[in-house]
Amino acid sequence: MSRKSPARNDVTRSLIKRCGYYLSRAGGHRLQKSQAVRFVTLHGHRFKRVILRDSHMAAQIERNLLTYGPSELLPAFVARYEHEVWVEYVAGDRLASGDEATARDLATFYAAIHHRRARTVALDDTLFHDRLRFDLRFLRNVAVVDAETTGALHELAERCKPARVRVGFDYTDPVLKNLVQRRHDGGLCAVDVESLEDDQLVGVGAAKAFLRWADPYRDAFFDAYRRASGTDLRDGFAYVELCFLAGYMKLMFLERKRRHLEAPAFERLLGRCAGGGYAPTASADPGASPRDGSVGAR
């Protein structure tokens, strides 16, 4: 009786999982997201092609990259044609794992990202709080969080709701695979261009980094951000993190990515707020300004 090798078993499981994923998409049981990435070399120069589902999404990426402007923090925009976006290929080394030094580099990266076009607006003039209430209600209805936790989260939302919030550009998907160290200077570059988004609550990208890999390095991140920007991101961050977690958990549920449904993250947030984990630190220099492109050379 023959036995399949472990490698062959892994391939079989992967194929089964992939087939199940596409069948669930075809049946309308999960949110649909479709894009492809290709790399092209023309006259000795490398480019990255991002092929999207429709031209609207491509136009939005083009608009964000052009509005944000040239920066070594992101791949340089080249062209858009219908539903494709072309950017410069960034020669760099992907980050194998996150550590405290990487968290500090990421903080300096975000200080520079937030420095452009960030503005302060009245929360009541935005839809952030309405969206938060709807997201929390949805998570309770589908039993991602229980009634007691939902009540505590609604109470926290009202208690930490700021009168004014910072809104602007943020990089919303800072998972390690989307970050590279540029080979020519060791600085940090975020290569997933569709994750540069405008009109975001400033700090949502940091909240995702904490959820996915940077949580042990929160203090190092906040301190590095304050040194680079002159702003203490901890001020009002509980509200930003709550908005992020509610929206992200809803999305993971609808995409049926159950391994990313981390309901305990809400309990950790409640615990931090109860323990004063977001108390602002010593006042920072308001005149400090990050120098774009100076991120993370080690």
Instruction: Tell me the domain boundaries of the chain.
Output: 31-89, 92-274
Please give the model's pTM, rounded to 2 decimal places.
0.83
Neighbour-count burial of 162, counting CB atoms closer than 10 A to its CB (0-12 exposed, 13-18 middle, 19+ buried): middle
Residue 169's identity, in one-letter code, is F
3-class state of residue 270 by DSSP: helix
297 — pLDDT class (breaks 50, 70, 90)? very low
pLDDT in tens, 245-282: 999 999 999 999 888 888 999 999 999 998 776 644 33
For residue range 153-174, what is the model confidence (pLDDT) as tens digits? 999 999 999 999 999 999 999 9
Q: Residue 275 has what pLDDT?
A: 75
Q: At what angle do helices 128-141 and 237-254 cross, to 10 degrees?
A: 50
* Mean pLDDT of all residues belonging to the chain: 87
Residue pLDDT, tens place only, 20-66: 555 555 555 556 667 899 999 999 999 999 999 999 999 999 999 99
At residue 298, the pLDDT reads 44
Indicate the angle between helix axes 100-115 and 218-229, nearest 10 degrees.
40
pLDDT-derived band at 184 (thresholds 50, 70, 90) equals confident
* pLDDT attached to residue 228: 97
The SS3 call for residue 93 is: strand
92-274 CATH, one of 3.30.499.10, 3.90.1200.10, 3.10.450.50, 3.30.470.30: 3.90.1200.10
* pLDDT score for 5: 54
Nearest C-alpha neighbor of 179 from the set 189, 165, 164, 193: 189
pLDDT of residue 20: 55
- Tens-digit pLDDT profile for residues 70-88: 999 999 999 999 999 999 9
pLDDT above 90: residue 14: no
